[in-house]
Amino acid sequence: MTAARRLLDRVVGTACCLLLAAMVAVLAWQVFSRYALNAPSTFSEEILRFGLVWLSLLGAAYSTGRGTHMAVTLLRDFARPPLQRILDLLVPAAFAIFGTVVLGLGGLRAMEIAAGQRTAVLQLPMSAIYAAIPAAGICITLYALLNFADLLRQRRARPDEVEAALNWGD
């Protein structure tokens, strides 16, 4: 399981880093062309918009794998340990269902609907943009299954909020 998690972390993390680096470069070009050349770039805004969609969804998948996603823990905090364990197991199960049904199947349906459309400036197929939804769904589902297996084997403790915030980015 750790090899699968390591591979998934490497693929998703690398994709996020490359997307962010590309977006920074495109943004720098946009600012330079607008203010230095006085000729605003027409393609950069579209690239940044679609890059942000992909980066946000892949980043959500990555944070699911790390256990640093947003959580409301009020119910868990007031529950007794046996119920806390059940609630801890429900989180990755809910993520797996959400990733599979909503993002995976719903994203494929969105791609199907958008298949005949093209972006305004770059003339890219909109299905390539909407592909971020099922791609993130697959990653979230895989991470959720890995998290669920780790919780069942008690190899992974529920991350402490303060520790997760301090270790973020390691």
Give the start-to-end residue ranges of the domains of the chain: 2-167
Q: Mean pLDDT across the stretch 94-99?
A: 96
Q: Mean pLDDT across the stretch 51-59?
A: 97
**Rounded distance, CA 169 to CA 25, Å?**
21
**Rounded distance, CA 144 to CA 35, Å?**
45
DSSP-derived secondary structure for 89-136: HHHHHHHHHIIIIIIIIHHHHHHHHGGG-B-TTT--BHHHHHTHHHHH
pLDDT of residue 170: 56
155 has a pLDDT exceeding 80: no
SS3 label, residue 70? coil
**Rounded distance, CA 22 to CA 51, Å?**
8
Query: Percent of the chain, pLDDT > 90?
Result: 72
Its pTM stands at 0.85
Residues sharing a CB contact under 8 Å with residue 122, sequence separation 6 or more, in sequence order: 43, 46, 47
Residue type, 3: A
